[in-house]
Amino acid sequence: MSAVFSKDGVRGLRISWVLLALALVTSAALAAGSYWFLQQEKRDAITLAKRLQQSKARNDAVKREIEDMRASSTVFQDLLDRGILQEGSRLDFIERLDQLKNSHGLINLEYEIDPQRVLTLADGRVFNALDVMGSRVKLRLKALHEGDALAFLEDLSTPKRGFNAMSRCHLQRIERASADVSSPRVEASCTMEWISLKDKVKANAS
Amino acid sequence: MAANHILYLTNTILVSLVANGGRISQRKTFPVSGGGASAFEAHVVGLRGLPTHVITDLAEEDFRLDTIPHVGSRDRQAVMARKLTQVFRNSTYRHAIAQGREPDGRRDHRVVYTAITNDEILKPWVEILQRLEVPVEGIYSSAVLSGRLLDALGLNFAHTLLVTFNPGGAVRQTYFRGKELRFSRLSPVDLEEGASLGTFLAEETTRTWQYLDSVRYFSPGDRLEVCVIAHPRDRAEIEPVLRDFEPMQNRLIDIEQAAGMVGMKPPPASSSTEALLAHVFLRRGEHNHFASQDLRRFAVIRRARIAIQAVSVAVLAIGLAYGGWNLSFLLQVSNKNQQSVDRALAIDAERDRLLKSIPSQGVAGQTMRDVVAFHSGSMRAYPTVASFLLPISAVLDRYPDIRLSQIEWQTADDEMATPTLVPIAPQAAPPIKALGPGKASSPATAVRVAAPAEGSFVTGRHAVAILEGTVRVDGLGYRNALEQVRNLVDELGRLDGYRAAMIDSPLDVTPKGGIQGKFGERTPASSQARFSLKVTLMTRPKP
């Protein structure tokens, strides 16, 4: 061993020691570099796996959405035909009230239409793409027969276009004071929501 | 087998043998006198990188036998070294070999000390080797090495005299007792006139036997096996002359056959055994005999260089292997990653295609979903007054004595909701009326429960109504009136989706309340008793 570290040894082994050092450095660099790249690739793999999962999830969501839409499209088309996304015409509504009053032989009909407002649903549901708009309509009517009043209210609640939701109604028999058969026998006082929907997406786009 | 340089030094010439791959690939001789040394130096320059072994076959090599007490290994080495110094005080090239132990007595160790008694013979060659920094692995005694040759040739006898020719024109006779070297001498072949090599050998071996016998190496009946290694060319000259007699038997070993036995190719071209010994030495190996540490330092440095380079290569190989191992995983992971990217891109492309294929119907998909959801959840089964009252009306038709006076109806999310009703007193009040603790003398008043906030829109999951009416009471026929109202409640409750409960009975006859009556001279023929019911309809269950 002393020969290795003697003057001759140091001189004769100088290149070998340098080669060993180079080998150590190269080997360490190779090992560390390849390990670093492998770990980097593994990290990328985790990221890509998440991205793939997200892509799959988004794809599944789109597929579900398409299925939902296919199932809903018929219903939606009917609703569109009924003008669910159109702002109702008050003039049409008033004319319709008059028409129904006459067709059901109401003796008296008074109404009051409140300004339209955004309805909040009592069950807390919120629609991202829609605003549920409602105009509260208060009605007071008198009829000869309760059947006329009920038929009027039924026709009013199920219009061909638009949606009316009768939320409250008070029906009361009127005791006749005289024998006049033309005097009303029933009076009703009702509250109704005249509903239309507003497309928030379209509104924001425009 | 790596290349080796073997120098076989005799008293007259130095033979340089280069062994490569187990074969002697080069042979060159140099005279020990004259210009031999300078020619040798020029020759060695080209071979200075090879590990070099010097085998001496010199007349100046002396052998001494000795015994030392049995001690531990380290102590034995120390004793042997000390005795070696004592025996060969003036020699640089000396060596001690522990050969075995005495069979009896203290069972001492038998030791043979050997040395080259004249350093000057080796000096010029060693100086050249040192000057050229030749890695000298060791200096070996040919006599000691010849024991290896005996083993290799299977010449294992109780008493063996190995007779070999050296390239310097001399014959070495080495005596082995069993496998232990006991004696060796070198005789120059100096044939007298008329004498042959055979007669020379016969005389020399006989003389050696006489010497060995004189120092009592033999017991009665012992026989010395004289093994002469010679080339077939010399056989005719030697064989006829060698005569066996009782204590000595001659065996002429063909050097070509001997070479075949030890795997040496090609066989030596003469009787000189240096190549054969060199071959056996390279095959079997031997520890250094005579060379000092200082003389061997370049060999040590060479070995260290090889070791460092081997370590360097190993380190590099480990790095490369680990790097390759990582790289293989990296490629696998990278390949998987690329597949993941491709799959993600394919999925994204599919999603884009699907999104483009979504039927828009003029609105965004979310809008469509929300519209349908709102309709399904809030509007589709929204109750109406007429649809609520129609089944009730059909039931009431079966109760002619019961007449409704007012209805308070509302939609609700909760069936516990109860509309407010202002009671109407019947025109023909009954003579008896209940006085409830909470109701005092007034008719039942409903309680508003959890009415939805102003502006909020109830989904109409339930329709709730308070029905107020009267039942006809004939005289004091309250039993019948109560029965009718109870039956009405029961029938309404049996309607599909309906529940009915009485709020105000025509007459509360439970003990908790009071009753107030007023009878005149005559009991009235009939009167109207007021009652109220709560009827609920569940249009759809909670989602």
Annotated domain spans of chain B: 4-60+118-295, 382-538
Q: Report pLDDT for A46.
A: 92
> Strand A108-113 and strand B402-412: pairing?
unpaired
Domain identity same for A75 and A95: no
Is residue B22 very low, low, confident or very high in pLDDT (cuts 50, 70, 90)? confident
Question: From B330, which residue of chain A is nearest by alpha-carbon distance?
Answer: A38
Q: How far apart are CA B98 and CA B80, in angstroms?
A: 8
Is residue B434 very low, low, confident or very high in pLDDT (cuts 50, 70, 90)? confident
Q: Report pLDDT for B441.
A: 40
Q: Which residues in chain B are contacts of A75 at CB distance < 8 A?
A: 372, 375-376
Q: Which residues in chain B are contacts of A172 at CB distance < 8 A?
A: 405-407, 424
Domain identity same for A42 and A69: yes
Domain identity same for A99 and A194: yes
**Lowest-confidence region among B9-23, B218-232, B349-363, B480-494:** B349-363
- Total length of chain B: 543
Put simply, whether B359 touches A (Cβ < 8 Å) is: yes
Q: What pLDDT, in 10s, does the model give residues B65-79?
A: 999 999 888 999 999
B window 272-331, beta carbon within 8 A of A:
293, 296-298, 300-302, 304-305, 308-309, 311-313, 315-316, 318-320, 322-327, 329-330
Label residues B241-266 b or e (16+ Cβ within 10 Å = b): bbeeeeebebbbbebeebbebbebee
Q: Is the pLDDT of residue A108 over 70?
A: yes
Mutation test of the interface with chain A: which of B300, B368, B414, choosing the one with the most A Cβ atoms within 10 A? B368
Domain containing residue A108: CATH number: 3.30.70.60
CA distance B469 to chain A (A): 10
- Among candidate residues A20, A50, A81, the one where a domain is terminated: A81
Is residue A88 very low, low, confident or very high in pLDDT (cuts 50, 70, 90)? confident
Domain identity same for A71 and A29: yes
Domain identity same for A127 and A150: yes
Q: Is the pLDDT of residue B43 over 90?
A: yes
- Among candidate residues A62, A81, A100, the one where a domain is terminated: A81
Q: What pLDDT, in 10s, does the model give residues B222-237?
A: 999 999 999 999 988 8
CA distance B369 to chain A (A): 7
Q: Is the pLDDT of residue B451 over 50?
A: no
B444 DSSP 8-state letter: P
Q: How far apart are CA A120 and CA A43, in angstroms?
A: 47
Q: Is the pLDDT of residue A1 over 70?
A: no
Domain identity same for A100 and A140: yes
Q: How many domains does chain A have?
A: 2
Please state the φ and ψ torsions of residue B52, each to the nearest 5 degrees: -115, 135
- A172 membership: H or E segment, kind and range: strand A163-173
Q: Report pLDDT for B436.
A: 63
Domain identity same for A94 and A192: yes
Is residue B438 very low, low, confident or very high in pLDDT (cuts 50, 70, 90)? very low
Q: Which residues contact A62 (CB under 8 A, 6 or more apart)?
A: B351, B354, B355, B358
Model ipTM over 0.85: no
Domain identity same for A56 and A153: no
Interchain proximity A193–B457, CB inside 8 Å:
yes
Position A27: which residue type?
S
User: What whole-number percentage of chain B has pLDDT above 90?
Assistant: 61
Is residue B358 very low, low, confident or very high in pLDDT (cuts 50, 70, 90)? low
**Is the separation of the CB atoms in B98 and B110 below 8 Å?**
yes
Q: Which residues in chain B are contacts of A37 at CB distance < 8 A?
A: 326, 330
- Among candidate residues A33, A48, A81, the one where a domain is terminated: A81
Q: Which residues in chain A are contacts of B336 at CB distance < 8 A?
A: 45
Q: Is the pLDDT of residue A110 over 90?
A: yes
- Could you say which of B319, B337, B460 has the minimum Cβ distance to residue A26? B319
**Is the separation of the CB atoms in B448 and B482 below 8 Å?**
no
Put simply, whether B146 touches A (Cβ < 8 Å) is: no
Q: Tokens 């000595």 identify what position?
A: B248
Q: How far apart are CA B213 and CA B221, in angstroms?
A: 12
Interchain proximity A122–B350, CB inside 8 Å:
no
Interchain proximity A120–B316, CB inside 8 Å:
no
Q: Is the pLDDT of residue B439 over 50?
A: no
- Give the domain extent around A132: 90-205
The mean pLDDT of A16-25, rounded to a whole number, is 93
Domain identity same for A146 and A101: yes
The mean pLDDT of B199-208, rounded to a whole number, is 92
Cα–Cα separations (whole angstroms), residue B85 to B27, B56, B82, B115, B261 = 36, 20, 5, 10, 39
Interchain proximity B460–A16, CB inside 8 Å:
no
Nearest-CA neighbor of B204 among B168, B235, B162? Answer: B162
Put simply, whether A199 touches B (Cβ < 8 Å) is: yes
Put simply, whether B225 touches A (Cβ < 8 Å) is: no
Domain identity same for A66 and A129: no
**Is the separation of the CB atoms in B535 and B500 below 8 Å?**
yes
Domain identity same for A67 and A22: yes
- Could you say which of A37, A117, A163 has the minimum Cβ distance to residue B379? A163
Q: How far apart are CA B95 and CA B540, in angstroms?
A: 114
Query: Is the whole-model pTM more than 0.80?
Result: no
Domain identity same for A127 and A57: no
**More confident call, B194 vs A31:** A31
Is residue A178 very low, low, confident or very high in pLDDT (cuts 50, 70, 90)? low
